[in-house]
Amino acid sequence: MIRLGKQLEEKSRELNYSYLTAPPSRSSSLAPTHLPRLKTLSFWTSVSPLPFLQIPLPFPPLKLRLLAPAMSYSEVDASSLTLFLPRAAISPILAVTLIAFSVLWFFPGGIAWALSRAHACSIPGPSGFVSALSGSAAHRVLAGLANSHKAIDLMAFSVGFTRFVVSSHPDSAKEILQSSAFADRPIKESACELLFHRAMGFAPFGEYWRNLRRISSTHLFSPRRVTAFGERRRAIGEQMVADVRDLMAKNGAVEVKKVLHVGSLNNVMMNVFGRRYDFGKGEGSELEGLVKEGYELLGLFNWADHLPLLGWLDLQGVRKRCRSLSKRVNAFVGRIIDDHRVMGRISGGVVDGAGDFVDVLLGLEKEEKLSDADMVAVLWEMIFRGTDTVAILLEWIMARLVLHPDAQSKARSEIDAVVGNSRPVADADIVSLPYLQAIVKESLRMHPPGPLLSWARLAVHDAHVGSHFIPAGTTAMVNMWAITHDESIWAEPNEFRPERFTEEDVNILGSDLRLAPFGAGRRVCPGKAMGLATVHLWLAQLLQSFDWVPADGGVDLSERLRMSLEMEKPLVCRAVPRC
């Protein structure tokens, strides 16, 4: 060992290496002919008081290529990775730090799990940091990692110093989503700065959250209110049909997302604020800018959420942008609340079943009443969650129907058989259109808007998922995309086949975790019924009015994950009027 140390010390002075783990030259006769499995990490230095350290690896043996040039491989323990550190090159403290970091880096699940008191847990997962969440295909990358690590049921990984587990199986997903141990959501910096920690999506589990949930189920998204908003949905759908006709006459093709976005935004504004906006100017333009900025910020991966040191620096500018947006949102929504309060006094404060959400919140009794600041948070969250979700899902549906004209023709024939040509389709007809509903389910299966169920869960106390111990503070995710594309769960998962949902009735509202695009348990999406009612009606209106065929550029199903799973290239197609 002494002789080897001298050899390496001389070589390090020559090449100015701090430590030598470079692979041998391809032409070197000293290169190993085989690579052993390493069982220990060895460290040698002549600096007292640490003459030699040998640390057992806390993970399965690895195959690594080493070592230093000009060194016979046979002279090193074949089951160890040895780092030779010359006395002049490195201090003992730095040496130990390097060793510790190496051990933590290669730990299953990564550094955050290695630092956890639960480091002895048996959850498989990749080592190091997983940067997939910062990319546009996180759901696919995590699904691939879960497969390669044989961790479909549950996989551990680290993003910075945040511990994660992700489920890619309905059974473990159900445990996470329905367990009281995972009743909270991790609060991103952007969500906190935009006041969403006071809204239902991010508010911590407790009395305040329960009050919001009660308000939501009783007043905002009750079956009575979903029905009462039906006429608004129908009118906005008819306006979209008219917009499509105009665009076809003008351009000969339609960028579907633009029409759907305007319709969705107007639908949400009618429900929340009780009015429609002209989004090309004035207040409408201001509002659209606020929504766009908020959507970008909430969908942005912020490294400061996972690397605390970066939180002080705000390198991505998230905090600055959020604070600026928050001021503008408070001013905009505050004006609307004040206007409604004045109008309520004039009208005596009576709110009928079709009153907007601002009226409902202002009319709450004392035990349920919210402050103006909390109302701003609740209303603004509804706008962000409701605006693009419907538009994105409908764009995916239309893309699939353009690519599958047989399914489109079958759905249209069903509408014609139920409705005929004498009147437009209505909400009441949807229950008689099972194939149209199956198309929506199949599109949700293939392209779930929130493939990682968007906003993850946080373990509020120590818990178990199956046999695995999950320490408090761990972020738990469900990869719904992986579940809906698992061939052991779905036959031919990559084939668009709506008939699978006419052959078997699958509940998509949270009871069947094979397909739960709206989540499940305490944090299930409260607006799921209203969202589905909107998608069903607008899809029926678009199919009743037009034959949808490809434009010259065809249909590109490439995707990108932001706050929702979007089409990377907007769908452009031709809408041929049926009459």
* Residue numbers belonging to the annotated binding site for heme: 525
Which DSSP string corresponds to 517-561? TT--GGGS-TTHHHHHHHHHHHHHHHHHHEEEEE-TT-----EEE
SS3 category, 457: strand
Angstrom distance (rounded) from CA 106 to CA 111: 8
State CA 253 to chain mean position distance.
Answer: 32
Cα–Cα separations (whole angstroms), residue 508 to 36, 209, 438, 513, 523: 50, 24, 11, 8, 15
DSSP character at residue 306:
T
Angstrom distance (rounded) from CA 545 to CA 240: 11
Q: Which of 501, 498, 486, 485 is nearest to 559 (CA)?
A: 485
Q: Which of 115, 30, 14 is nearest to 65 (CA)?
A: 30
Which DSSP string corresponds to 161-214? TEEEEEE-SHHHHHHHHH-GGG-B----HHHHHTTGGGSTTTSPTTHHHHHHHH
Q: What share of the chain is helix, strand, coil (3-state, %, to 5)?
A: 50, 10, 40
Binding-site residues, please? 525
Q: Which of 173, 206, 116, 214 is nearest to 456 (CA)?
A: 173
Judge contact between 479 and 168, C-beta under 8 A: yes
What are residue 176's phi and psi, to 5 degrees?
-70, -50
What's the full length of the chain, in residues? 579
Rg (CA), the chain: 29
Q: Which residue has the tokens 């008819």?
A: 238
Angle, CA of 185, 531 and 292, to the nearest 5°: 65
- For residue 317, give the amino acid letter: G
SS3 category, 576: strand
ω into 23 cis (within 30 of 0): no
- Beta carbons within 10 angstroms of residue 304's beta carbon: 20
Extract the tokens encoding 270: 């009618």
Cα–Cα separations (whole angstroms), residue 294 to 318, 355, 565, 570: 11, 26, 16, 21
Roughly how many angstroms between the first and final C-alpha of the chain, as a whole number?
89
Judge contact between 182 and 460, C-beta under 8 A: yes
